[in-house]
Amino acid sequence: MESSRKPTAGENIAVLRKARGIGQARLARRMGITVSYLSKVEIGLRPATPTVVAAAAEALHVTTARIHGQPFADPSEQADLLNELRGAVRRHTLPKEDTPARSELAQGLQQAAQLRADTKYLELLRILPRLLGQATATALDAGGDAVAWGQVSDLYGCAYAVAHRLAQPDLADMVVSRQQWAAQRTWNPAADAAAAWNEAGTYQSAGQYDDGLAIVERAISHYGRSRSDGPEPVVVLGSLHLRGVVLASRHRDKEATKAHLRYAKDLALQLPDDRLLHNLTFGEGNTALYELAAHIELDQPDEAVRMAAPLVTAPPTGLKPNRVGRFYIDLARARLATKDLDGAEEALKPAFTVSPQMAEIHPMSREVLRVLFVLHQRSRPDLMAMAKRTGLAS
């Protein structure tokens, strides 16, 4: 995926600031950070973290997607495939596809879930439009069949993952509304809660952490009144609390972070291992990874590094590549924050091995690479190879 160099979030902040005729001091005041910090973010000596990007977007009156830019090394194929997905999502009541054989649809659903978990976003994007049409046609023909509509809802969950990772916030919003539409036809509160998890994710991506928290807390309240027995309610409710951990930590609300984490840990004790249901992963292993990430957001990188040590030696079992890859990206962030440059680079390498497509486009893997690249590390061949894969070097 090599191409010309792609601008980073920090560089985009500088470009947008200058285009609006705003000095660093003025923008720093609006963002609530020091001029020195902003200057380092712009030139690549500090990473543009999610909270920094959210503050810059609000101060500059742009979206967080505009700050992150388009990190794709080959945008042409993505653009064509995304247009196909937009069309399929727009035609949510008018699928072009016919109802397939039950075995064909089951195979497609299994493939989509696996590609999402493996962070193979392009491969997933290639099959989603047709698969969405087939699943919707099946559900419409089946009338009020709750299982059929549940399959449509879960597929929209896969579509949300693609739209989110490929930095398409408008598409992600539309997908979530379609997922809610399908979930309401399942008569299953778990499907509604899974849709709410993604809805909160759209606020998280936009840097509107307080609104995202409100969505999570409302979903927890609604779902808590209709809980059933078995692993499903544990996975769904636990996942909502994990979303709350991310939102609260980025909102710098330590008490809310602790509360959501405490509930998640208590729920995780009820599962023997991490489970994947409705595209939600929950268990003790994933909860630990969310706790580690929260330490980074709350400016406690030393604690995150300490937590990571046993996880590197003995990674949690049962977690899919999307979660393992994110763990290594977070570990790289933590090590960079503690000025362990060699350790940050070493942490990124397995992320590119386990979940290459996510590592290539994830905002924080790119920001860590950018800082390492700027800090006199250009001669390191492994670092250069990763930078080329992300489009940070040509």
Domain boundaries, the chain: 9-67, 73-180, 188-299, 308-394
Among the CATH numbers 1.20.1250.20, 1.10.260.40, 1.10.274.10, 3.30.930.10, which is that of 9-67?
A: 1.10.260.40
What is the per-residue pLDDT across 82-140, written as a single tens digit (0 to 9) for each? Answer: 999 999 999 999 999 999 999 999 999 999 999 999 999 999 999 999 999 999 999 99
The amino acid at residue 317 is T
User: In a structure prediction context, what are the per-residue pLDDT tens digits for the chain, which is 394 residues long?
Assistant: 334 677 889 999 999 999 999 999 999 999 999 999 999 999 999 999 999 999 999 999 999 999 998 766 555 678 889 999 999 999 999 999 999 999 999 999 999 999 999 999 999 999 999 999 999 999 999 988 999 999 999 999 999 999 999 989 999 999 999 999 999 999 899 999 999 999 999 999 999 999 999 999 999 999 987 767 789 999 999 999 999 999 999 999 999 999 999 999 999 999 989 999 999 999 999 999 999 999 999 999 999 999 999 999 888 888 999 999 999 999 999 999 999 999 999 999 999 999 999 999 999 999 999 999 888 656 688 998 998 888 888 7
The pLDDT tens digits of the residues spanning 193-226 come to 999 999 999 999 999 999 999 999 999 999 987 7
Asked if residues 370 and 362 have their Cβ atoms less than 8 Å apart, the reply is no
Of 352, 357, 346, 282, the C-alpha closest to 316 is 282
Which three-class secondary structure string do you get for the chain? CCCCCCCCHHHHHHHHHHHCCCCHHHHHHHHCCCHHHHHHHHHCCCCCCHHHHHHHHHHHCCCHHHHHCCCCCCHHHHHHHHHHHHHHHHCCCCCCCCCCCHHHHHHHHHHHHHHHHCCCHHHHHHHHHHHHHHHHHHHHHCCCCHHHHHHHHHHHHHHHHHHHHCCCHHHHHHHHHHHHHHHCCCCCHHHHHHHHHHHHHHHHHCCCHHHHHHHHHHHHHHHHCCCCCCHHHHHHHHHHHHHHHHHHHHCCCHHHHHHHHHHHHHHHCCCCCCEEECCEEECHHHHHHHHHHHHHHCCCHHHHHHHHHHHHHCCCCCCCHHHHHHHHHHHHHHHHHCCCHHHHHHHHHHHHHHCHHHHHHCHHHHHHHHHHHHCCCCCCHHHHHHHHHHCCCC
282: number of Cβ within 10 Å: 26
Separation between Cα atoms, residue 277 and residue 299, nearest integer Å = 32
Tokens 């080959």 — which residue? 74
- Is 281 exposed, middle or buried (CB count within 10 Å of its CB: 0-12, 13-18, 19+)? buried
* Residue whose token pair is 């778990």: 190
